[in-house]
Amino acid sequence: MGNGEDQHPPAASAPTLDAALLALITQCHNAILPGERLTLAIGAAHVGYIAPALATALGSFVTIERHTATIDPAEAHRLNPIATSLAAQFGYRTRGEDFDVRHAPDSPVLTQLDRGALPAFGVIGQGVHLNGYVRRADGIHLWIARRSATKKLDPGKLDNIVGGGVSAGMTPFETLLKEAAEEAAMPATLAARATETARIAYDMERPEGLRRDVLYCYDLELPDDFTPQAADGEVEAFILMPAAALPAIMTAGDAVKFNVNLVLIDFLLRHGVIDDLTGALRRALGVS
């Protein structure tokens, strides 16, 4: 098709659609931990990973022993102001939005850290993603957002209808309701019908640093007459897409935000839009 082209032997071929879907997942699992980093702990709780230079800069705030930099739990409240003071030196920018610091998603909150400092400290960041779908005679459709051109990360990329990071003191579900109202003008009575369907975690090296993300995935069946409205400038437009078209769109290039691919693949698997005969996709996602 088109001019000046031909085919070449399968040995050198690009991945097929199935293999390309798997590659979208595995590319989010590209971090080797701890790698060249020290483990960061608050007392006995492992909470992150830091570069040796950052460990040095933390000075007496941490005790370094056996590749672990440990913060005294009584001093943990100082983590956030110290991280803020080191931002320029270590090339990150604080956002004025704190996230809770935990050992694992369901563990107790040990302190807070500015969102912009999470990658440098290798601290888990929790986010919510909503699959807003419509059942139609011609198949299941998903509302997809085009991210605003003014977003710092991934401007213009395709995204879930609603998503956002879980700020300190918020639960994922509270975050979902808040973002649904702010980003898509979705009434709380509607958004509250969303059901949690999966948690997807990955450790990924990104331009902004180490992303240790945990994505809380929700499904919400939307009425045929609901149209999301871009409410807060985070989204430029919403588009209703046939779910069956998403695998080709996701694998043809980098149109979809990197981690939204994982959320969508999980959705497509659960709704039978794609199959997974070998179980490779579910294993890679870490979902059952």
Question: What residues between 16 and 55 interact with a second copy by CB under 8 A?
Answer: 16-17, 20
Residue 80 binds to a second copy (criterion: CB under 8 A): no
Answer for which of 41, 69, 101, 158 binds a second copy (CB under 8 A) is 158
Token pair recorded at residue 263? 């959320």
- Give residue 80's region: left, alpha or beta (phi > 0; psi -120 to 50): alpha
Least distance (Å) from a second copy to the CB of residue 256? 7
Residue 116 binds to a second copy (criterion: CB under 8 A): yes
Q: Which residues contact 47 (CB under 8 A, 6 or more apart)?
A: 40, 41, 101, 102, 103, 110, 121, 123, 124
101, β-bridge pairs: 111
- φ, ψ of residue 177 to 5 degrees: the values are -65, -40
Taking Cα atoms as reference points, which of 102, 122, 125, 123 lies closest to residue 51? 122
Residue 48 or 163: the one with the smaller Cβ distance to a second copy is 163
**How would you classify the pairing of strands 62-65 and 124-136?**
unpaired
Answer for which of 48, 119, 122, 172 binds a second copy (CB under 8 A) is 119
Answer for which of 100, 183, 219, 266 binds a second copy (CB under 8 A) is 183
Residue 103 binds to a second copy (criterion: CB under 8 A): no
Answer for which of 112, 129, 131, 220 binds a second copy (CB under 8 A) is 129
Least distance (Å) from a second copy to the CB of residue 206? 8
Residue 207 binds to a second copy (criterion: CB under 8 A): no
Residue 112 binds to a second copy (criterion: CB under 8 A): no
Q: Which residues contact 219 (CB under 8 A, 6 or more apart)?
A: 130, 131, 133, 194, 195, 197, 267, 270
Binding piece for a second copy, criterion CB under 8 A, among 4-12, 38-46, 81-89, 269-277: 4-12
Residue 45 or 243: the one with the smaller Cβ distance to a second copy is 243
d(CA 270, CA 208): 31
Binding piece for a second copy, criterion CB under 8 A, among 31-39, 44-52, 70-78, 114-122: 114-122
Which residues ranging from 216 to 235 are in contact with a second copy (CB under 8 A)?
233-235
Q: Which residues contact 116 (CB under 8 A, 6 or more apart)?
A: 87, 92, 93, 94, 95
* Residue 14 amino acid letter: A
Which residues ranging from 240 to 279 are in contact with a second copy (CB under 8 A)?
240-242, 244-245, 248-249, 251-257, 259-260
Residue 111 or 259: the one with the smaller Cβ distance to a second copy is 259
